[in-house]
Amino acid sequence: MSVFNNSEVKYFLLIGIPGLEHAHAWLSFPIFLMYLTAIMGNCIITFVIKTEPSLHEPMHYFLTMLAVSYVGLSFSSLPTMFRIFFFNAMVISPNACFAQEFFIHGFTVMESSVFLIMSFDRFLAIHKPLRYSSILTGSRVAKMGLILAFRSTILVLPFPFTLRRLKYCQKNLLSHSYCLHQDVMKLACFDNRINFIYGFFVTLCTMLDFALILLFYMLILKTVLSIAFLAERLKALNTCVSHICAVLIFYMPIITLAAIHRFAKNKSPFL
């Protein structure tokens, strides 16, 4: 890494797994298989829901949106992961890095939004089962999908532009195998206050989704506890188990990464 103190860097360097650089060739195949499985699995889910009329229901439409966001997120991070683990190519240009972090954060926000609307869907199905189909019509679900995509795009659209206005010197080593906004902005050698504030705002929006999901599940639990029969309670809760697990798997890494990048000042740069 040749970077001069007073010169702006011309590229960024990504890393694989610190300490296991010698094993990248061995790790490349299981990582590629993991990506291939995720992409094919979500494409199959989307195809089955589209072609099977009995699955043309709101919950399955939301599942399709979630699958699309998963595929988009996989394709966003796959190029740099593939180059690093197969060819040990760590260099990425600033513009390519900014574009990648836009798509990664955009699809991440979209996932968060879909999880929120899925929790609202479960609340309606349990709290107002007789009015469920009349409230969540096909046209309303389509409008919700467009709103979610628009929200995700608008929230992260400033990221590449605010990063591009910064100057990067002395340091160009990133902490992951792909570009993230909070990771890139820490390399800037000039004031990055605007980036920090706006990045924190986007994180708060994602955490607001999580808070609303918790609220919907508190309302769901209140409704379930009002059901007289235990068997009916368990049946109602059973419809939410897979969604709850997916929400926890999604939000825990986000909360951990946000805490590390924003508050762990003295941690290793490889975290």
DSSP string, 22-83: GGHHHHHHHHHHHHHHHHHHHHHHHHHHHH-GGG-SHHHHHHHHHHHHHHHHHHHHHHHHHH
DSSP string, 117-141: HHHHHHHHHHH-TTTHHHHS-HHHH
Which H or E run contains 230? helix 230-238
Average pLDDT, the chain: 84
The pLDDT of residue 93: 92
Predicted confidence (pLDDT) per residue in 98-108, tens digit: 999 999 999 99
The pLDDT of residue 228: 64
Predicted confidence (pLDDT) per residue in 73-83, tens digit: 999 999 898 88
- Where helices occur in 186-229 by DSSP H, the ranges are 193-225
Average pLDDT over residues 260-270: 52
d(CA 186, CA 249): 27
d(CA 21, CA 92): 18
Predicted confidence (pLDDT) per residue in 208-255, tens digit: 999 999 999 889 888 888 776 777 777 777 777 877 888 888 888 777
Predicted confidence (pLDDT) per residue in 197-209, tens digit: 998 899 889 889 9
Burial status of residue 15 (CB atoms within 10 A of its CB: 0-12, 13-18, 19 or more): middle
The pLDDT of residue 266: 46
Predicted confidence (pLDDT) per residue in 137-165, tens digit: 888 898 998 998 999 999 999 999 999 98
